[in-house]
Amino acid sequence: MYLMRTITTKVICLGLLVSGIGLPHVFAAEDKPAASTSKPQPSVAKPLKWGDFGQERASLEARNMAAWVSEAGDNQNMPFVIIDKTDAKVFVFHPDGRLHGAAPALLGLALGDVSVPGIGNRKLASIRPEERTTPAGRFLASLGRNAGGKEILWVDYEGALSLHPVVTSNPKEQRAQRLATATPLDNRISYGCINVPAPFFKNVVSKTFKTTNGIVYILPETRSTSIQASSGLADH
């Protein structure tokens, strides 16, 4: 039985594939031998499995990531999430690669793809603006509770990184208004956590992870790196 984890959820790796994803080439099947009175049959290519975004707008980097995950089976038959920091958008997928839902997101104030060592043990007031990054990587995620007892999706427990409903306790930050704008340029405001609209968290994220763990892929924004996968997992 699945046990909701409220203990450490560790990062599995920090590499992400953004561009130039090495998907297998697909070649047309060889023509079947034809009878002397028939024309050769047209070749048929075996289709690849792709992450299905439906009509949802997504960047090339996000589409490439979803395609690679679906083709390689890197999500290990678990639901998965792709977070595109550049577009400030979250995509949640079923295990088979079909899109379950998408929403805008608020992210760490500072640009960057790594967390400051030990940041998960520090008080928020001690975290400087330049340290408020949302790290890139591949993470094993599960539902849990924060210190206030509210449900969140733990992405990296040790790094205090989670995906949760938007926090609106500080009116000066205008977080709800930032989520509502069409541009991603005003979506950098958090200490590093990923804030999403409350209905999206309740109806998509929570329901998707209610009885299972999953994989969260956070795309890098300041560098290009590659996933080094082995049996579906990669070293940090």
SS3 per-residue string spanning the chain: CCCCCCCCCCEEECCCECCCCCCCCCCECCCCCCCCCCCCCCCCECCCCCCECCCCCCCHHHHHHHHHHHHHCCCCCCCEEEEECCCCEEEEECCCCEEEEEEECEEECCCCCCCCCCHHHCCHHHCCHHHCCCCCEEEEEEEEECCCCCEEEEEECCCCEEEEECCCCCHHHCHHHHHHCCCHHHCEEECCCEEECHHHHHHHHHHHHCCCCEEEEECCCCCCECCCEECCEECC
**pLDDT tens digits, one per residue of 130-142:** 999 999 999 999 9
Q: Which residue has the higher pLDDT, 161 or 7?
A: 161
Question: Which of 1-10, 102-111, 175-184, 214-223 bottoms out in mean pLDDT, i.e. has the lowest?
Answer: 1-10
pLDDT for 226 equals: 54
Q: Which of 213, 214, 218, 227 is nearest to 90 (CA)?
A: 218
140 touches 213 (CB < 8 A) = yes
* pLDDT above 50 for 73: yes
* pLDDT above 60 for 12: no
Distance CA(220)–CA(85), nearest Å, equals 7
Establish how many alpha carbons lie within 13 A of residue 233's alpha carbon, considering only the half-sphere containing its beta carbon.
7
Look at the block and give the residue holding tokens 């990669």.
234
Q: Which residue has the higher pLDDT, 211 or 231?
A: 211
- Structure letter (DSSP) for residue 19: S
Question: Which of 24-38, 98-112, 147-161 bottoms out in mean pLDDT, i.e. has the lowest?
Answer: 24-38
Question: Which of 4-18, 123-137, 142-156, 157-171 bottoms out in mean pLDDT, i.e. has the lowest?
Answer: 4-18
User: Domains of the chain: which residue ranges?
Assistant: 11-20+48-234
pLDDT for 38 equals: 52
* pLDDT above 50 for 188: yes
Which pLDDT band holds residue 15 (cuts at 50, 70, 90)?
Answer: very low
Q: What is the pTM of this model?
A: 0.76
* pLDDT above 70 for 218: yes
Please provide the distance, in angstroms rounded to a whole number, between the alpha carbons at the two ends of the chain. Answer: 28
Average pLDDT over residues 171-193: 97
Considering only the top CATH level, what class is 11-20+48-234?
A: mainly beta
Average pLDDT, the chain: 81
